Amino acid sequence: FSFALAEWLRETLLTGFPWNPVGFGLMPVPLLMQSVGVVGMIGMNSLAVFLFATPALLAGRRHRVTGIVIAFIVLATHAGYGFYALSREDGPATTLNVRIVQPNIDLAEKWDETVRDRIFKSELDLSRQPPAPGRQKPALIVWPETSIPFLFQEHPDGLRMIGEMLQEGQLLLAGVARAEGSGDSALYYNSIVAIDDKGEIVDAVDKVHLVPFGEYVPFESLFERIGINQFVSGPMNFVAGARRHPLAVPGGFSALPYICYEIIFPTLMMDQPPPKSFILNVTNDAWFGNTPGPYQHLRQAQIRAVETGLPVVRAANTGISAFIDNKGRVLDGLAINSQGFLDAEVAIPQESPADA
């Protein structure tokens, strides 16, 4: 109970940071992830601590047999339910052809004006590559978080070039830094924009849950006086968006947008997603470097897929980009620190999981 409470507080206090909760120890593979869809992360945290503490009963005399039997039943039920959930047939689904672009932009070059044209050209070239033989052209192309290395106000030709790259009926969902206003009064947002084949921005959604000291500095004037700035240097401080809404995708589909670490918060998942929905997660994990961070971040997306019953399309700048089905299985992915694109037919439930 205490561990579950501590994990809930870690998710809630000071904007929250539920990274690698203890319950993840019980969910290393999709077979052992399915129970989270029933008991949630709080329940998984409690069960994990109970099971991991069971060997301590061997050192005592009281409750030894009872505790070990209960632990065995819990573990068997956990694994048995996973087997049942993975073997159970899903409801009706329709497919959407999606391309993920992984540009592998060096963090040191990301906002360098001398190389931004090269970066942008590489993203356009990857997006316009023909699909593999036997595959249809993607209706949706996804670029990672802040993948466009300039503000559209400073480079209006960028929208025209995207429109020329897109074929008729295609839509691009791209991570951008978006500005409102100009000069010292400008506000900057970490956003996803939807761009159609005419090179027009038809929709946009801003990141709601920002990373403290990474994307903004809370109580900025106070911390600046004692020499504390952003831990991850960038060209601007971001402002949080007001709300999140689904993005319309060709074919009547809806993308539920989560930017970077928003995917790690179970409480941010939409309670009533519209029919034909999938989770869209764009991120830039380059600042993790060569650490377990990108792999841990991917695991969080897998868990959200199981909790919500929705597939995940994950586009990451340096990796790990992946298509994840609604049971947390990685269907295909791009290796970390590699450049390329990935095409897939994503099976998307026709009904909202909340209504099914």
> Which residue reads 């377990």 in tokens?
292
- Choice among 7, 145, 262, 307 that is catalytic: 145
Quick check: 131 and 343 in contact, CB under 8 A? yes
Regarding predicted confidence, which is higher, 306 or 289?
306
- Choice among 7, 11, 215, 260 that is catalytic: 260
Q: Which pLDDT band holds residue 182 (cuts at 50, 70, 90)?
A: confident
Quick check: 177 and 111 in contact, CB under 8 A? no
Residue 48's pLDDT is 93
Residue 156's pLDDT is 83
Does the pLDDT value for residue 157 go beyond 70?
A: yes
Quick check: 51 and 323 in contact, CB under 8 A? no
344: how many CB neighbours lie within 10 A of its CB?
19
Residue 236's pLDDT is 62
What is the rounded CA–CA span in Å between residue 140 and residue 137? Answer: 9
Regarding predicted confidence, which is higher, 347 or 228?
347
Query: What is the pTM assigned to this prediction?
Result: 0.88
- Choice among 110, 207, 276, 327 that is catalytic: 207
Among the residue ranges 51-60, 99-108, 192-201, 225-234, the one predicted with the least confidence is 225-234
Tell me the per-residue pLDDT of 128-147, one tens digit each, with 9 for 90 and over.
999 988 888 999 999 999 89
108 Cβ contact list (under 8 Å, min separation 6): none
Residue 189's pLDDT is 87
Quick check: 336 and 319 in contact, CB under 8 A? yes
Tell me the per-residue pLDDT of 50-97, one tens digit each, with 9 for 90 and over.
999 888 888 877 778 888 899 999 999 999 999 999 999 888 889 999
What is the rounded CA–CA span in Å between residue 125 and residue 136? Answer: 18
Regarding predicted confidence, which is higher, 12 or 43?
43
Positions of E strands within the chain: 93-102, 140-142, 171-180, 187-195, 201-206, 247-249, 253-259, 277-283, 312-316, 322-324, 330-333, 340-349
Residues 227, 230, 232, 234, Cα dihedral to 10°: -110
Annotated catalytic, 145? yes
Structure tokens at 298: 């991917």
Quick check: 336 and 297 in contact, CB under 8 A? no
What is the rounded CA–CA span in Å between residue 80 and residue 30? Answer: 12
Which element (helix H / strand E) includes 323? strand 322-324
Annotated catalytic, 110? no
Among the residue ranges 12-21, 280-289, 341-350, the one predicted with the least confidence is 12-21
Does the pLDDT value for residue 28 go beyond 60?
A: yes
Per-residue pLDDT, averaged over 292-316, amounts to 95
316: how many CB neighbours lie within 10 A of its CB?
28
Which element (helix H / strand E) includes 43? helix 36-53
Annotated catalytic, 207? yes
Q: Which pLDDT band holds residue 302 (cuts at 50, 70, 90)?
A: very high
Regarding predicted confidence, which is higher, 180 or 74?
74
Tell me the per-residue pLDDT of 43-57, one tens digit each, with 9 for 90 and over.
999 999 999 988 888
Q: Residue 17: name the closest of 266, 314, 331, 280 by CA.
A: 266
Residue 75's pLDDT is 94
What is the rounded CA–CA span in Å between residue 52 and residue 54? Answer: 6
79 Cβ contact list (under 8 Å, min separation 6): 31, 32
